[in-house]
């Protein structure tokens, strides 16, 4: 552990940052006319995204000058996840930017801390509902300091699932095939608009299943929270050899343990993947 901080102290530090950044983005939406732009021609970004990102990354650099940072707005270099020798912070200053821009409450600040490719601490703070999810590896997960646990769902037919869709609409057929299969074999779908909150809702039992392909900053903190709440986290597709599984976002699947394998088979079949 670097800089003489325990993992729990690292989590405390991340929670304080997430709460302060959450207050910043909440205040920015309530006090000002929202300024928006687009990156990659399709993906919405707000001035508050950048402000919160700079606040979080600046505080981490000051406290841990030798650590690396992977953040959605200011340092979205995914090769950072492949360099395992130095501790890595993974940040999404506003997960659910479209929700944020439209005045919806499902918005979160997500901060994760990883060592050697394994996430050790994670915080997801939802400023508009004032909910803070956190986990330190091996110590369980909490929501507003109270322990949380997955739903205990036992079969897909009785399970509520969440997923999302990319900004680019070039290749939607595989996603539609998966959605069609899941809709027919599960209770219902919820489309929340924040991957971090989707996963945290699996952690606390508001959802039973989540699957999607997303970036590390979308899920790194929430995935640890779900695992520490007893959920099963993995992938229904292959993870490249040597790539840290904690940071691989392709074909992500997180659910109550009893439904994970049946859902994995549903998604693999709908995706046209060979074998089980």
Phi and psi angles of residue 9, each rounded to the nearest 5 degrees, phi first: -65, -35
**Binding site annotation covers 94?**
yes
Tell me if 218 is assigned to a ligand binding site. Answer: yes
CA distance 194 to 96: 5
Residue 72 assigned ligand-binding role: yes
Main-chain phi, psi angles of 36, to 5 degrees: -125, 160
Instruction: Give the integer Cα–Cα distance in Å for 227 and 112.
Output: 14
| 130 assigned to a ligand binding site | no
CA 166 – CA 228 distance, rounded (Å): 28
Give CA–CA dist 140/157, Å, rounded: 28
Is residue 49 marked as binding?
no
Of residues 92, 103, 91, the one with CA closest to residue 28: 103
- Spatial separation of the C-alpha atoms in residues 178 and 79, rounded to whole Å: 29
Binding region? 72, 92, 94-95, 218
Binding region for Mg(2+)? 72, 92, 94-95, 218
């Amino acid at each position: 552990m670097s800089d003489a901080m325990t993992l729990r102290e690292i989590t405390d530090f991340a929670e304080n940052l997430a709460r302060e950044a959450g207050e910043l983005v909440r205040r920015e939406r309530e006090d000002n006319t929202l300024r928006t732009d687009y990156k990659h021609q399709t993906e919405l970004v707000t001035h508050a995204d950048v402000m919160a990102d700079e606040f979080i990354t600046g505080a981490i650099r000051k406290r841990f000058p030798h650590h690396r940072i992977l953040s959605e707005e200011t340092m979205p270099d995914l090769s950072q996840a492949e360099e395992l020798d130095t501790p890595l912070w993974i940040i999404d200053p506003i997960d659910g930017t479209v929700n944020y821009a439209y005045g919806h409450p499902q918005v979160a600040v997500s901060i994760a801390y990883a060592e050697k490719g394994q996430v050790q601490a994670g915080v997801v703070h939802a400023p508009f509902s004032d909910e803070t999810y956190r986990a330190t590896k091996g110590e369980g997960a909490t929501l507003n300091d109270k322990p949380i646990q997955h739903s205990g769902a036992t079969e897909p037919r009785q399970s509520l699932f969440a997923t999302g869709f990319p900004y680019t609409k070039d290749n939607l057929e595989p996603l539609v095939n998966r959605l069609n299969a899941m809709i027919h074999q599960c209770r219902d779908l919820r489309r929340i608009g924040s991957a971090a909150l989707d996963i945290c809702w699996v952690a606390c039992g508001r959802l039973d299943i989540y699957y999607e392909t997303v970036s590390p900053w979308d899920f790194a903190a929430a995935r640890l929270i779900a695992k520490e709440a007893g959920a099963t986290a993995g992938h229904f597709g292959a993870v490249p050899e040597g790539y840290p599984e904690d940071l691989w976002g392709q074909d992500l699947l997180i659910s109550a343990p009893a439904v994970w394998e049946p859902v994995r088979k549903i998604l693999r079949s709908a995706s046209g993947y060979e074998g089980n």
